[in-house]
């Protein structure tokens, strides 16, 4: 069990005298932090012309019906805004808890399986432990993720949010933490309102941002829709088809397509096995590959007959060229972005996950005869390294002057709950007085390796953990005994019914100090039935 491994790590920290006493609940010296989610990461409510309010994202009961009724929309090329098909509906984001409510658990009423709809929840809980305080040093910014990342109405709200945080914190500058598409929104604001950004912002930490797009994921989302949750919960949630019809009219999705001016190491492709006949009337099957603008032509043809029925009226919903034009302008804007000189920029990106890059439809045994068939075909992927959604190449290519770029093994949504990421954030936010810095012994704990693996063996669940640290101090004296110190820690847990058991064992090796550095290794394994 992972909880037992956490106990072993905590035991090691206590043994090293890193943790001396709990931190105060509120640290008045911390600078304020603003959390900005990615696509689908904000609670949305529908308000009708009578003022009645109803949550439409996220919800479980009646989710698909209310989603289609309230969130299906149409793009207005004259304003750049996508508006609900129901003219009497306005979509709003709740501002409770200083904006944190909307980006915490996306369905607060859900009692079971809440983890499938939690967003920044774990990070918020962790930061409160560090001494941050809601409304004083911790805030959230939710937004209508259907809209363009450069929609002026959204950016105006964001600017007002920065000012209100600056005022609430007594004039302190703000650290912004974004996840996924939230990074594009902040980058757009930084481009279009540079003076406001520089006035209020101290640092910006982007996590898993699709700076150059998420080609494989977005191509299949436009053609086949996407699932927000996995497993059996999909049956209680939004259908992929309903989601697809929303995305076709969302500028934000088009802004996540592969940036047309980016020079990919491996060009993202759309491949189709096609069947037909040659000039001699002989049947033939060929794999055709399309890249760049050719992919747009395939999307146009495949979606040319797409339509939905809304309140008894048929609505045509092809691939939207007006939105594409708008998105291309957004890409050009983002390519010119620069971080103001007094603002620090950091980039955390996901690695070690198979990530869709090129997409293939059909097969040699089952070729595609009509492009509109693609809408009902399961795509196959050619993958690259990334977080499962955003390729590492895209997330690293921020085009900005960065203080640091760090790759972390993790999937796209899980990375904002990752313990290693928390350690990095704690250090960058200067909330790491303890455990990373011990003023009594004057040393810094620098994490250098973190690996965790889970697997099943003979009916047992096995979790292995490997962590390494460097203890860095000003003491350069060499120890008399130069042999490594080896010790072990064991913990166990028995279920209430006595039938379930879990055990964990860890071995710690502390190497002799050399030139002010001391290496510490932890190897631990937990086994549960």
Enzyme catalytic residues? 180, 387, 412
User: Strands 201-207 and 283-291, how do they pair?
Assistant: unpaired
φ, ψ for residue 527 (rounded to 5)?
A: -130, 130
Q: Which residues contact 375 (CB under 8 A, 6 or more apart)?
A: 223, 224, 302, 303, 306
CB 272 within 8 A of CB 360: yes
CB 524 within 8 A of CB 490: no
Query: How far apart are the C-alpha atoms of 268 and 219, rounded to whole Å?
Result: 10
- Tell me the Ramachandran region of residue 516: left when phi exceeds 0, alpha when psi lies from -120 to 50, beta otherwise: left
Query: How far apart are the C-alpha atoms of 151 and 215, rounded to whole Å?
Result: 22
Q: At CB < 8 A and 24+ separation, what contacts does 496-501 make?
A: 500/528, 500/529, 501/528, 501/529
- One-letter-per-residue 3-state SS of 14-41: HHCCCCCCCCCCCCCCCCCEEEECCCCC
Query: How far apart are the C-alpha atoms of 379 and 219, rounded to whole Å?
Result: 10
Collapse the DSSP code of 401 into the 3-class scheme (helix H, G, I; strand E, B; otherwise coil) and give the result: coil
Cis amide bond preceding 22, omega within 30: no
CA atoms within 13 A on the CB side of 388: 8
Nearest of 214, 168, 160 to residue 38 by alpha carbon? 214
CA distances (Å), origin 51, targets 89, 115, 311, 369: 10, 31, 21, 50
Query: How far apart are the C-alpha atoms of 251 and 325, rounded to whole Å?
Result: 10
CB 74 within 8 A of CB 249: yes
What angle separates helix 152-168 from helix 182-192, to the nearest 10 degrees? 90
Query: How far apart are the C-alpha atoms of 100 and 507, rounded to whole Å?
Result: 40
Burial of 229 (0-12, 13-18, 19+ CB in 10 A): middle
């Amino acid at each position: 069990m992972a909880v037992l491994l956490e106990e072993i790590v905590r035991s090691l920290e206590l043994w090293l005298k890193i943790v001396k006493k709990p931190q105060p609940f509120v640290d008045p010296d911390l600078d304020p932090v603003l959390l900005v989610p990615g696509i689908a990461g904000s609670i949305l409510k529908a308000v009708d012309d009578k003022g009645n309010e109803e949550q439409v994202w996220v919800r479980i009961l009646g989710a698909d019906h209310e989603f289609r009724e309230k969130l299906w929309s149409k793009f207005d090329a004259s304003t750049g805004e996508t508006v609900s098909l129901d003219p009497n509906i306005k979509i709003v984001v709740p501002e409770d808890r200083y904006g944190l409510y909307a980006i915490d658990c996306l369905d607060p009423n859900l009692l079971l399986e809440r983890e499938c709809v939690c967003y920044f929840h774990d990070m918020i809980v962790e930061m409160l432990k560090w001494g941050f305080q809601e409304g004083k040093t911790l805030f959230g910014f939710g937004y209508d993720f259907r809209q363009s990342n450069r929609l002026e109405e959204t950016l105006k709200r964001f600017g007002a949010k920065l000012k209100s945080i600056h005022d609430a914190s007594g004039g302190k500058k703000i650290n912004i933490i974004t996840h996924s598409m939230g990074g594009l929104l902040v980058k757009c604001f930084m481009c279009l309102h540079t003076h406001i950004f520089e006035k209020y912002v101290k640092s910006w930490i982007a996590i898993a941002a699709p700076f150059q797009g998420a080609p494989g994921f977005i191509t299949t989302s436009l053609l086949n829709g996407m699932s927000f949750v996995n497993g059996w919960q999909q049956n209680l949630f939004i259908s992929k088809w309903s989601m697809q019809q929303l995305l076709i009219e969302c500028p934000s999705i088009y802004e996540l397509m592969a940036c047309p001016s980016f020079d990919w190491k491996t060009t993202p492709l759309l491949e189709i096995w096609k069947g037909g006949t040659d000039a001699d009337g002989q049947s033939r099957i060929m794999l055709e590959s399309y890249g760049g603008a050719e992919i747009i032509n395939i999307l146009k043809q495949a979606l040319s007959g797409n339509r939905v029925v809304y309140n008894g009226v048929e609505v045509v919903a092809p691939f939207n060229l007006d939105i594409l034009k708008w998105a291309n302008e957004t890409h050009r804007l983002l390519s010119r972005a620069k971080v103001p000189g007094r603002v620090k920029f950091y980039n955390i990106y996901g690695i070690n996950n198979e990530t869709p890059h090129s997409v293939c439809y059909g097969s040699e045994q089952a070729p595609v005869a009509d492009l509109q068939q693609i809408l009902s075909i399961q795509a196959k992927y050619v993958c690259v390294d990334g977080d499962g959604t955003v390729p590492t190449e895209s997330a690293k290519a921020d085009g900005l002057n960065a203080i640091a770029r760090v790759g972390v093994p993790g999937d796209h949504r899980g990375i904002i709950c990752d313990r290693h990421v928390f350690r990095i954030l704690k250090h960058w936010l200067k909330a790491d007085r303890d455990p990373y810095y011990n003023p009594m012994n004057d040393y810094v704990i620098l994490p250098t390796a973190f690996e965790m693996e889970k697997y099943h063996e003979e009916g047992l669940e096995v979790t292995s953990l490997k962590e390494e640290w460097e203890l860095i101090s000003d003491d350069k004296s060499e120890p008399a005994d130069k042999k490594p110190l080896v010790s072990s820690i064991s913990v166990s847990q028995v279920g209430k019914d006595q039938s379930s058991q879990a055990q964990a064992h860890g071995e710690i090796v502390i190497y002799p100090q050399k030139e002010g550095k001391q290496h510490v290794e932890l190897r631990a394994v937990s086994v549960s039935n």
